[in-house]
Amino acid sequence: MVKRAAGRPAREGIATSRGPRSAGQGRSAGAQGWLATRLRRWLLPTWMGRELSIIFAARVLMSATRALAGVLVPIYLAEQGFTGLDLGALFLVVALASAAISAAVGVLSDRIGRRVFLIVLPLVAAAAAVAYAITRDVAVLFATAAVGSFGRGAGAGAGAVGPYQPAESALAMEVTPARRRNAAFGRLAFGSSIGACAGGLLALLARGSHLRGGTALTADRPAFLVMAVLAAAAGLVALALHEPRRPARPRGGPRRPRFPRRSAWLLYRLWATNGVNGLAIGMFGPFITYWLYRRYGAGPAEVGLLYSVINLATAASTLSAAPLARRFGLVRTVTAVRSLQAVLLVPMVLAPSFLAAGGVYLVRMVVQRIGLPLRQSYVLAMADPDERASVAALSNLPSQAAMAASPVLSGYLLDSVSLELPFEIAGALQLANAWMFWGFFRRTPPEDEALVGPAVSDPAA
């Protein structure tokens, strides 16, 4: 009896002492659950729906792959003895292959569906990354870079998904309400920023600038295998997509790909503006990593960290695209941000240090990330619904052709004339592109903007 009496207070004391801890733990768990729920709803708001959320997840994974490739490939090849002109030749091959694949994806996805391309092409990129990890044969590196689109975009803007983007954009358009279109493309661009940030951080696993030669090449191989895993994961995620049912075509109607006649007016204007922009991008885009390596001696770890900081800092700017378009008008916003990003190229290449150049590049990328989703949204909004993927792909053909030609010239200038001149030429071309866009499209706003006016905001967005 005494033991029971003595034991009772002890048990009560234990119960009393555990009670407050359990309540505190419950409150902590509740706070964590609330925070997790809020974060999930912020990243994937309810209006996105299942299909757009899957596209978003695949975009993050594929953008991480592209960003890691944008850091590794130019420096990896430079360590093998590639000059600027050699890299220009590689980027020429990659650009031509990407243009052909992108055009085929755009036209065919209007006929046979979008989903298959979001599955197959990331798996092809995964195979290309494995090839880079196991061989140094120049012919193989050229061929796999072409099919994997390594070198099609670099720097902190390497978060694109590759040549299946026409199918991805058209599918995103089809599963998104019209009033959410700008927000949806801004959200996908935000996903690119997240993925590109992760890809840049993964470059820290490669090596620093102190390693050179064969040791550096060996140290890079695991990072290429990580690229392969990321790309394969993007393709596997896309398996879960359910593509909306497309309207049945008349019996006996044409099944072969055809030119988008109803959107021809839009396509011709885009060809002019995109051709000029392609020349600019080809002059500097694929060479940013190489330029940082040549100018400041930066290695993959340093460049990857810089790109991660930039992508993290610019992620929010993609979410501001839709509000800015509502306030000022889509075409006006695109023109303004493209003009500013063109001007900022000049102080970037004249910066005296790696940190100073990185700071200017950060500001430039904040601006660039605003215009990119708006331009994609505009093209798909103005195209005929049955021709969206075709227009998305064909509109970029002049840009890709120009991007294929200009890297060779840029590589020669980098080797033989100046490390700054290609970037300065690119800035002038991008400024011309911005004002061509304004001249062609200022009188043709998207339908939702034309009805309500650019200053009217959507409180639910």
Helix/strand/coil (H/E/C) assignment for every residue in 6-20: HHHHHHHHHHHHHHH
Alpha-carbon distance values, 409 to 102, 276, 279, 283, 287 (Å)? 24, 15, 10, 8, 12
Per-residue model confidence as pLDDT tens digits over 151-178: 655 556 545 667 888 888 888 888 887 7
What confidence score (pLDDT) does residue 408 get? Answer: 87
pTM for the whole structure: 0.68
Q: How many CB atoms lie within 10 A of CB 248?
A: 7
Question: What is the sign, positive or negative, of the torsion defined by CA atoms of 91, 427, 199, 43?
Answer: negative
pLDDT over 60 (residue 249): no
- Amino acid 10: pLDDT: 45
Q: Are 63 and 199 in contact (CB under 8 A)?
A: yes
SS3 annotation, 258-279: CCCHHHHHHHHHHHHHHHHHHH
State yes or no: pLDDT of 8 exceeds 60: no
The mean pLDDT of 317-344, rounded to a whole number, is: 87
Asked if 132 and 418 count as a contact pair (C-beta separation under 8 A), the reply is: no
Backbone phi and psi for residue 36, each to the nearest 5 degrees, phi listed first: -65, -40
Decide if 75 contacts 303 (C-beta within 8 A). yes
* Least confident stretch, 153-157, 195-199, 213-217, 233-237: 213-217
pLDDT attached to residue 102: 83
Number of CB atoms found within 10 A of residue 433's CB: 25
Residues 84, 411: Cα–Cα separation, whole Å = 4
Say which DSSP state 344 is in. Answer: H
Burial 210-224, CB ≥16 within 10 A → b, else e? ebeeeebbebbeebb
**361/109 Cα distance (integer angstroms):** 36
Collapse the DSSP code of 81 into the 3-class scheme (helix H, G, I; strand E, B; otherwise coil) and give the result: coil
CA atoms within 13 A on the CB side of 44: 13
| pLDDT single digits (tens) 363-380 | 998 888 888 888 878 888
Q: What's the pLDDT band for 236 if we cut at 50, 70, 90?
A: very high
Average pLDDT of 395-399?
79
Q: What does the CA dihedral 321, 325, 330, 333 come to, rounded to 10 degrees?
A: -70
The predicted pLDDT at position 422 comes to 92
CA-to-CA dists, residue 428 to 221, 340, 405, angstroms: 38, 11, 17
- Classify domain 47-243+275-446 by CATH architecture: Up-down Bundle (1.20)
- Closest by CA to 283, choosing from 399, 376, 149, is 399
Q: Is the pLDDT of residue 460 over 60?
A: no
Domain ranges of the chain: 47-243+275-446
